[in-house]
A and B are shown apart, each in its own frame.
Chain A
Amino acid sequence: MSEVTSSKIPVTVLTGYLGAGKTTLLNRILSENHGKKYAVIVNEFGEIGIDNDLIIGADEEVFEMNNGCICCTVRGDLVRIMDGLMKRKGKFDAIIVETTGLADPAPVAQTFFVDEDVQKNARLDAVVTVADAKWLSDRLKDAPEAKNQIAFADVIVLNKTDLVSKGELAEVEARIRGINPYAKLHRTERCSVALADVLDRGAFDLDRILDIEPSFLEADDHDHDHDHHHHGHDHHHHDHGHGLKHYHDEEMQSLSLKTDKPLDPGMFMPWLQNLVQTEGQKILRSKGILSFRGDDDRYVFQGVHMMLEGDHQRKWKDGEPRESRLVFIGRELPEETIRKGFESCVVS
């Protein structure tokens, strides 16, 4: 899989609510001295002032696939643009797709799963969401698009941190983590982030689904400022032992499942297929590393809504705990049903 993916052109999807700083990040990426050429696909009605040779205006035309799956939407304009861009192969090294502030990232991601021709030439690298430290908390309350973009992200660039107090920053971070604890989070001013942190992430590469522990349990790229003086302006937060705020978002959550007992592949695969078929509209992203009974290989999968892809990855190493771990991020996830279903696939 690695050899195949390496020859494909990586595509970074840049999302973020209006005014968060997408264009700033884009210009930073383009102006940095990296010796690479980018094809940039921007919304035709979006902000201007991008300095790049290869800029393509897109219309964000989303349409449903005629396959009976209602959440199976793709960006038709992207299919067309990718087609045209492939005639100029060799003139650029990577593609950046900037979405509008109100866009749902799912159709963009699904375009790279569903369209055979797009898939042949390009691979989705990561969904990078730029968030405004000052206004994100408000937007999470009144703009479902903003919440979607946070939930969908592989990388979150929390921008304009210079405009908020430490307390406010901790607050907004906790809200982000309440929705998506798995994305890499970078605090920035004027989108000043190392390019390696946003590009070439391989977030959709099955071979790189190595660790699906929540990101904040590892060290993020900064020290945590643990906020001890928060007040009750949200009905669902509680204090962790070490003082890190924790919010539970009423609507959008992540659900993680884990077992050190092997799974029955004959039970698990149909369960997972059925789960994404029936609940796929609610499930934005899913990932898993699985240990099947009688199988010495790790099995990895990932999905966007109803679309799943999975493969045997490699042998379990000696001494490596053969644990199965799954993560779902989604809207109003039926937690009990999913937990029970998962448990029924465990070999007891």
Chain B
Amino acid sequence: MTEFTPDPYSPSIVSVTDRVRPVALGMAVTSAHFLSDRIAFVGGEENVALVDASGEVSKVAVHSGGILSTASDGKRLVMGGDDGKVVALNAKGEVTLLATDPKRRWIDAVALHPDGAFAWSAGKVATVKSGKQEEKSLEVPSTVGGLAFAPKGLRVAIAHYNGVTLWFPNMAATAEFLPWAGSHHAVTFSPDNKFLVTAMHEPALHGWRLADNRHMRMTGYPARVRSMSWSAGGKALATSGADTVIMWPFASKDGPMGKEPAMLAPLQARVVTVACNPKSDVLAAGYSDGTVLMVRLEDGAEILVRRNGTPPITALAWNAKGTLLAFSDEAGDAGLLDL
């Protein structure tokens, strides 16, 4: 993966660094999400910084401790904290308490369904709340590493040790178990609902084709995969964890089985965050040295958004139209780029 390493700052690279509007957030940032036309930069603890299109910052207190997990549908942001609370934040800055763990355990994972249902986990128990229905909980054999809703129907994937449990909370049938040895963290469905992918504790992804539960091993990373993003239309899955963006092809019925991933935007730094543009075949990649690049998927052409020399990029987000990119480094030096 390291053979092809062009100098990213050679004169040939297009730079739009001068078009970025810098925003100083003044707090550690772990992720970013668009809520309508505002951007929610999630802090490491306690606060979310809401930034509007003009770059004005307002801070909203959401948790009384560390913010451990986030999920957003573009209209609201659901968060789990080490205060045992699940809260939601909307674009107006209104905070709603959704649930409290009776034992005040950490809320390790949250997920949000397009129809408004949400899920969270504390320890081994995953809970789903859908509309006016009662909460429904399922205990899995070990601590939940990640949660995701399937794009269709009310179905939840619960990642844990040695596999993923697929659960229909509204059906009496027992949950389905997809085994694979090891510890599974983040989990995601492909947008077409055909594949399920987990990021594992070891530097690898594991996938299942849901039609027949065939395994897909996606290995070769030098570091754990912390960030995954589906390209527009779900044709490929972009991932962090290497010194290039690793893109696994999912356009065919076999997904990445027997195929090599594309390796884009190699730098002498680790890719730590990826975010695909929701409308066009472009992605943004954030690196461990503070670099942000925009990359065209078709030919790997790169545009420099932010130079290196800062803490790692922890937050990257596109607005729904794909016309505005927001990013932040770990220390809260953020930026907005209009396209």
With A77-B143, A87-B45, A88-B44 already in contact, the answer to whether A63 and B224 are too (CB < 8 A) is: no
Q: A63-B182, A88-B45 in contact; A79/B142 too (CB < 8 A)? A: no
Stretch of A5-13, A64-72, A268-276, A291-299 that contacts chain B: A64-72
A80 in the interface, Cβ–Cβ < 8 Å? yes
Chain B residues, CB < 8 A from A57: 103, 105
Q: Which residues of B contact A59 (CB under 8 A)?
A: 123-124, 142-143
B28, B124, B182: the one contacting A87 at CB < 8 Å is: B28
CB closest residue in chain A, given B202? A66
Count of interface residues, chain B, beta-carbon cutoff 8 Å: 29
Given contacts A56-B106, A76-B143, A87-B44, contact A65 B67 (CB under 8 A): no
A116 within 8 A of B: yes
B181, A64: Cβ atoms under 8 Å?
A: yes
In the complex, the answer to whether A88 meets B224 with C-beta atoms within 8 Å is no
**B182 touching A66 by the CB < 8 A rule?**
yes
Q: Within residues 176 to 228 of chain B, which ones have a CB less than 8 A from any CB in chain A? A: 181-183, 200-202, 204, 223-224
Give the dominant DSSP class at A's interface.
mixed
Q: Which of B44, B105, B183 has the most chain A CB atoms closer than 10 A to its own CB?
A: B183
Interface check B82, CB cutoff 8 A: yes
Q: Which residues in B have their C-beta under 8 angstroms from that of A88?
A: 44-45, 65-66, 82
A319 close to chain B: CB less than 8 A? no
Residue of B nearest to A91 (CB): B45
Contact with A along B69-100 (1 / 0, CB 8 A): 00000000000001000000000000000000
Q: In this assembly, does A250 line the interface, its C-beta being within 8 Å of a C-beta of chain B?
A: no
A308 within 8 A of B: no
User: How many A-B contacts if CB must be within 8 Å?
Assistant: 67
Answer whether residue A317 sits at the interface, using C-beta atoms and an 8 A cutoff.
no
Number of A residues whose C-beta is below 8 Å from B? 25
> In the complex, what distance in Å separates the CA atom of A64 from the CA atom of B180?
12
Q: Does A61 contact B (CB under 8 A)?
A: yes
A232 at the interface (CB under 8 A from B): no
Chain A residues in 8 Å Cβ range of B68: 84, 87
Contacting residue for B66 out of A44, A65, A85, A115, CB 8 A: A85
| A87 near B202: Cβ-Cβ < 8 Å | no
Contact of B161 among A44, A61, A84, A89 (CB under 8 A): A61
Interface residues of A (CB under 8 A from B): 44, 56-57, 59, 61, 63-67, 74, 76-77, 79-81, 84-85, 87-89, 91, 115-117
Q: Please give 14 more A-B residue pairs, beta carbons under 8 A apart, in addition to A63-B142, A88-B66.
A: A56-B82, A57-B103, A59-B124, A61-B143, A64-B181, A64-B182, A66-B182, A66-B200, A79-B183, A84-B66, A84-B108, A88-B65, A89-B28, A115-B201
